[in-house]
Structure 1
Amino acid sequence: MTDAGGKYRRDMGTLGVLFIVVNGLIGAGIFGLPEALHAAVGTFAPWLLLIGGVLVMAIVVCFAELTKLTDRSGGPQRYVGDAYGDYPGFVVGWTFFAARLISQGANVLVLVAYAAALWPVVGAGAAKVVLIVVVLGGLTIINIVGIKRVVAVLGAMTLFKLLPLLVLMAVGLASAAAPGPITLPQFSAVEGIALAALYAFVGFENATIPAGETRNPRRAMPRALLLGLAVVTMIYFGLQWAYSHSAIAGTGPEAPLTALAELYGGNVGALLIAATIVMSVLANLTAGHTSASRMPPALADDGLLPEWFGKVSRWGTPANSILFFGAGAILFALQDDFLALAAVSTLARLMAYVASIASLPRLRTQAGLPALNPTIFIAAPVALTLSIWAATQTSSDQWLTLGGFAVVGTALYFIARRKSADGLPDRN
């Protein structure tokens, strides 16, 4: 593969990639999941999350292998494009970007909803609009002035959101009832909740996109991916164990971790977790903004989108693309009626997983390596099976929406190729 030409400043190290992995995984979902999991499978719930983390690790292992083969930005788009040519890579990159743009707008509405629980005035009207613009505008500015600053902000957010969760987990584990024998649930119960558990582990792939702004990405990214998923899996396991062995498990609270914090810490504990949820969603938005806004520059670098998207600021960042992403997310968020479309983001990710993993043997062959090694031989079949199964659990509407994105992207692709007087040749 072609190495990056030094177009962007490589200001992010392993720790920065780790922050993106952790915050890409931990959003708002885990705060509402414990009761649903417990209601479905009882005290087997922690083990279900552990099994989910182990299975998703197979996908992460494949991505870790992929990151060793390039130091250029793009993530899934880069892998598929280098393996199968410009157009397949463009479709994967464009659909991933478009879906992530919509979900960014949807996620900021989740942030507003949680913030309104603490400060009701921001839940409607002009104050709501101001909060949306301030949050997404602020993330845009921080990203433009340098990924080093993003890493610093993400580091602080990660600390403030993980510390309360770790304290709650420790207190909950210390106070948990003595576990009885493990009772395996009915398969139908596991099948009914497995997809929800799996969705708690998507988002790690965001960290692979800004490889061109990462120091020694072939070394930093594999480490951060593997460590990040392992850490998050153990946090999920510990929180679920603490909840499933508490007095409130099975009582149906709408905000289970908030209820658990209130059980052990009273109103102060509940308020702290509520604030933690807001911080968690904000950190998730920050990680998503940093990664997804780097997809169009990767496409522009290959001549698949206008050069405008790849223009570099004086801070060494793709400023135009970051601004485009921020403005688009604000416009979607202000619509306030499209939350159902956010589900297509997961489908786009699953398709990116399948296409990227399928690219691995060819990319290794291009690099002069054996198509498979023992690690890939074991992990790839598990990763592909899991991704394809999850994709089959989605609705026809989500497939139609994703197809619509692909059609729009295809039109843009051929327009860009036609307007480029000396466009890059297709790599097929």
Structure 2
Amino acid sequence: MTNSELSRQLGLRSLTLAVVTSTIGSGWLFAPFYAARSAGPAALGAWLLGGMLAFSLALVFAELGSLVSSSGALAQIPLLSHGRTAGFIGGWSAWIAYLALPTIEVLAVMQYLASSFPWLTADGGSGQVLSGPGLALATALLAMLAWINLAGVGWLARWIDGLTAWKLAIPLVISVTLMLASGHWGNLAASRLPPGETLRGMVTAISSGGILFSLLGFRTAMDLAGETRRPQRTVPLAMALGLAISLGIYLILQLAFLVSIPPDQLAGGWGRLELTAHGGPLVALAMGLGLGWVARLLLLDAVISPSATAMAYMGASARVSWMMGRCGLLPSSFGRLNRQAVPSVALLVSLAMGVLMLLSGPSWQTVVSFLTATLVIALAMGPVSLIALRQQLPDTQRAYRLPWAGVWCSSAFVLATWAISWCGTSALRGASLIVLVPAGLFALADRQQLRHGLWWFLYLGGIVAITSVPLGLLAQLAALASWALVVFPIATSSRLAQLQPMVEMR
């Protein structure tokens, strides 16, 4: 093994567990509450709709993952098919989102722990922020997660295997306990809304309610593909299995949450539900039901689940920037590996950026929409690249080949466009600016293959314009779908005549 090669140690079990541990993080502690408050009993349908959207993208990336089996592939795939500008946009948007995710997970840990250790937070005027000791503890936790990643992918796999077993069991135990202790099944018929309002509530639950944010962990299999044995087979299977397991757990947890709310707390409707005491919604619910041991178990898991997810995403962010460094989209130092075949420079930069984000004082609630928009922007490249690579590599064997790819990819691109818009105007504008401004500067400095990536600016600019016009929900969805179907053939036809020569496929 040379100093430019990653170590392939992960099998199907470890990679599937990595997907699960990336998917079941702080989302399970917060998303059932926010989804219920947005959509009421229709939150169950919102999880199914969010799962359908995630599966539609996962199947696209299953073929891409069988073809491009490198770690940090979210940066490499658009570079292969559409050149340097498109590769920078895809890699940059994924990296920005990944950089923030470990910080958000650690903040979730601090928020739950503050109910038992109030000295971890202080009054920031407009809400609770980390105190000096809380900031020190959060920084130490990020540093420990970086140390585990630096020890090598073998160590990372052992930690993920152990922690994910816990993460699978605890939500199920708590869900069954809540349903047995307080099975108010009549809540499922409470406060039914007209179809239009129900659909709007489901859209809000999917975006700012955290559903889609919670379900996009399947891409971790792509990020670790370069360290996986038999990646052409293992990556697609791990994505499908991991997402199916995670969605099943979230549906059970959401059902348990809905039927465990005391009916008197729903007098004002689901939209006015408040469960803020005792450090978090699930803890507040358990304490209200007299389930002290469940509350203590939740507080313990509030440390373990988000920490394991943060650990996985810290490694994923390093591998995306490592690939960008190898491909010349970031400084070459990002592409260096240490003796354990870990991208150490990229990992340490991820740690430093995470600490800086801690100092800025974000919260889970305020950034989930922005992160979701940024992540889906990165994933929206998948359907375009798949069709492009079908044209560029027509005879290359694929371990998995998506059936009806033209129809499926067009539909997935429409769904991704809707998901980006659902995150809200402010989150969409913020994500577009943080992606397109650096991309514009990159394009000015590196004009190679610029025209192959210009469709990105057209696409995101159109979404911002459409969502800025006051339209009804159905009219806006129709306008966005039409825009996506106009842009999609433009994007696919903007592909390179031949694959980007700087990038090797493994």
Does TM, scored on the shorter chain, surpass 0.5? yes
2:372 is aligned with 1:346: yes
1:34-183 correspondence runs (5 A): 34-123=32-121, 124-174=130-180, 176=183
How many angstroms does 1:151 deviate by?
1.6
Q: Say if 1:85 and 1:426, in contact at 8 Å, map to a contact too.
A: no
Q: Which moved more, 1:272-281 or 1:98-107?
A: 98-107
Q: Deviations over 1:323-364 (max 9, x none)?
A: 111111112212325875664322221111211111101223
2:216 is aligned with 1:190: no
* Other-structure match for 2:393: 367
Q: Deviations over 1:159-197 (max 9, x none)?
A: 223322111223345563567997786232232232423
Q: Deviations over 1:119-170 (max 9, x none)?
A: 3333344321221221111111111110111121122222223322111223
Q: Which moved more, 1:124-133 or 1:243-252?
A: 243-252
Unpaired segments ≥5 residues, structure 1 = 419-423
Number of residue equivalences:
419
Cα 1:180/1:349, change in 2 over 3 Å: closer
| From 228, 231, 245, the counterpart of 1:217 | 231
Unpaired segments ≥5 residues, structure 2 = 122-129, 267-272, 449-499
2:433 is aligned with 1:403: yes
* Other-structure match for 2:218: 204
* Other-structure match for 2:262: 248
Question: Which whole-Å CA distance do the structure 1 matches of 2:442 and 2:47 have between them?
Answer: 41
Q: Which moved more, 1:380-389 or 1:118-127?
A: 118-127
Question: Which whole-Å CA distance do the structure 1 matches of 2:236 and 2:166 have between them?
Answer: 25
Question: Which whole-Å CA distance do the structure 2 matches of 1:286 and 1:40 have between them?
Answer: 30
| From 21, 28, 31, the counterpart of 2:29 | 31
| From 356, 361, 373, the counterpart of 1:336 | 361
SS in 2 for 1:293: helix
Q: Which moved more, 1:223-232 or 1:344-353?
A: 344-353
Q: Which moved more, 1:20-29 or 1:100-109?
A: 100-109
Question: Which whole-Å CA distance do the structure 1 matches of 2:115 and 2:363 have between them?
Answer: 21
Cα 1:164/1:185, change in 2 over 3 Å: farther
Q: Which moved more, 1:83-92 or 1:189-198?
A: 189-198
Percent identical pairs in the alignment equals 26
SS in 1 for 2:357: helix
* Other-structure match for 1:392: 421
Cα 1:122/1:70, change in 2 over 3 Å: same
Question: Which whole-Å CA distance do the structure 2 matches of 1:37 and 1:185 have between them?
Answer: 17
How many angstroms does 1:118 deviate by?
2.8
Letter in 1 for 2:233: R
Q: Say if 2:21 and 2:164, in contact at 8 Å, map to a contact too.
A: yes
Cα 1:416/1:312, change in 2 over 3 Å: farther
TM-score norm. by structure 1 comes to: 0.86
Q: Say if 2:57 and 2:382, in contact at 8 Å, map to a contact too.
A: no
Question: Which whole-Å CA distance do the structure 2 matches of 1:46 and 1:266 have between them?
Answer: 25
* Other-structure match for 1:316: 341
How many angstroms does 1:109 deviate by?
2.3
Cα 1:269/1:57, change in 2 over 3 Å: same
Q: Deviations over 1:229-257 (max 9, x none)?
A: 11111111111222223353654323443
Q: Which moved more, 1:218-227 or 1:53-62?
A: 53-62
* Other-structure match for 2:240: 226
How many angstroms does 1:380 deviate by?
2.5
Question: Which whole-Å CA distance do the structure 2 matches of 1:415 and 1:301 have between them?
Answer: 18
Q: Which moved more, 1:211-220 or 1:367-376?
A: 367-376
Q: Say if 2:46 and 2:205, in contact at 8 Å, map to a contact too.
A: no
Question: Which whole-Å CA distance do the structure 2 matches of 1:138 and 1:35 have between them?
Answer: 30
Question: Which whole-Å CA distance do the structure 2 matches of 1:201 and 1:89 have between them?
Answer: 24
TM-score norm. by structure 2 comes to: 0.74
Cα 1:417/1:290, change in 2 over 3 Å: farther
Q: Deviations over 1:83-116 (max 9, x none)?
A: 1112211121012212332343344223222222
Q: Deviations over 1:195-246 (max 9, x none)?
A: 4234232332233112212222221111111111111111111112222233
Q: Say if 2:223 and 2:316, in contact at 8 Å, map to a contact too.
A: yes
Q: Which moved more, 1:187-196 or 1:346-355?
A: 187-196
Superposition RMSD in Å: 3.2
Question: Which whole-Å CA distance do the structure 1 matches of 2:362 and 2:258 have between them?
Answer: 35
Q: Say if 2:102 and 2:309, in contact at 8 Å, map to a contact too.
A: no
Higher RCO, Cα 8 Å, sep 6+? 1
Letter in 2 for 1:355: M
Cα 1:279/1:407, change in 2 over 3 Å: same
Q: Say if 2:17 and 2:164, in contact at 8 Å, map to a contact too.
A: yes
2:318 is aligned with 1:293: yes
Letter in 1 for 2:228: T
SS in 2 for 1:384: helix
Letter in 1 for 2:409: A
Q: Say if 1:47 and 1:237, in contact at 8 Å, map to a contact too.
A: no
Letter in 1 for 2:162: A
How many angstroms does 1:406 deviate by?
3.7
Q: Say if 1:46 and 1:238, in contact at 8 Å, map to a contact too.
A: no
Cα 1:195/1:65, change in 2 over 3 Å: farther
